[in-house]
Amino acid sequence: MTERRRLIAGNWKMNGLMADGLARAKALRTRAVRTRRALPDIAICPPATLLAPVAKLLAGSPLALGAQDCHAADKGAHTGDIAAPMLAELGCRYVIVGHSERRTNHRETDQQVKAKAESVLRAGMTAIVCLGERAEERKAGRHLQVIGGQLDQSLPAEATAENTVIAYEPVWAIGTGLTPTPADIEEAHRHLAGRLPGPIRILYGGSANAANAKALLGTPGVDGLLVGGASLDPEAFWSMVLAAA
């Protein structure tokens, strides 16, 4: 099997006014340029308002820029939305699509997530396609069926290991401090990997932090982490990057 580079992605969600966000990005850039070790792939996904200034800050550093969402169309009458080519033009390399907060708060369906992911690929970026079961689905023993269905329905037709990353994020683990057992994560990742057309990376997300990063990354089938809350603290996020190095 070819060597799979790990990816550590920080999703800042709707956090950070300008001064705050720039300070956080600078702190990460400083750590990245000083580090002598071989680093994993690293993506920083700030809110849309910070993408342009953070892009400038990260230019020439090992830190890639990512966005948290995009519209499925390349342009048009979609007030308030942002198209993938606009994100690519700013220097984004990744776009998160189908995050559970968007699936819940904006009622995004698998079909919409797939259309968004396809627009990300058309714009030459990498889609981070999120999926994961809810607590009641796991309790009912339906988690594998649910995530397998989400994957089948939301994976872009043109997905390859170069242009697509999957993030397995159990909804009940996001922002709760709860994480699945290593055996549960391994089971989910194995189930997803078996349905993928090639060696597409599968990240784990949901209450990943500096304390549990090593164990999560040591779980078979985990190719990296999608980090929410802990990515707001440069110290914590960087220790997670080093745990993947």
**Which positions lie near ligand PGA, rule CB under 6 A?**
11, 169, 174-175, 205-208, 226-230
What's the closest the beta carbon of residue 2 comes to ligand PGA, in angstroms?
27
Pick 156 or 205: Cβ nearer ligand PGA: 205
What's the closest the beta carbon of residue 218 comes to ligand PGA, in angstroms?
18
Distance CA 178, CA 191 (A): 21
Helices 143-154, 110-122: inter-axial angle, 10-degree rounding: 40
Distance CA 137, CA 140 (A): 5
Distance CA 121, CA 113 (A): 12
What's the closest the beta carbon of residue 16 comes to ligand PGA, in angstroms?
14
Catalytic residue numbers, as ranges: 99, 169
Structure tokens at 156: 């872009």
- The angle formed by the CA atoms of residues 230, 238 and 198, to the nearest 5 degrees, is 85
Structure tokens at 214: 């090593």
Pick 74 or 235: Cβ nearer ligand PGA: 235
* Residues 107/142, Cβ–Cβ less than 8 Å: no
Pick 71 or 99: Cβ nearer ligand PGA: 99
Extract the runs of DSSP E, i.e. beta strands, from the chain. Answer: 7-11, 41-45, 63-67, 92-97, 126-131, 164-168, 201-205, 224-227
Pick 74 or 228: Cβ nearer ligand PGA: 228
What's the closest the beta carbon of residue 161 comes to ligand PGA, in angstroms?
21
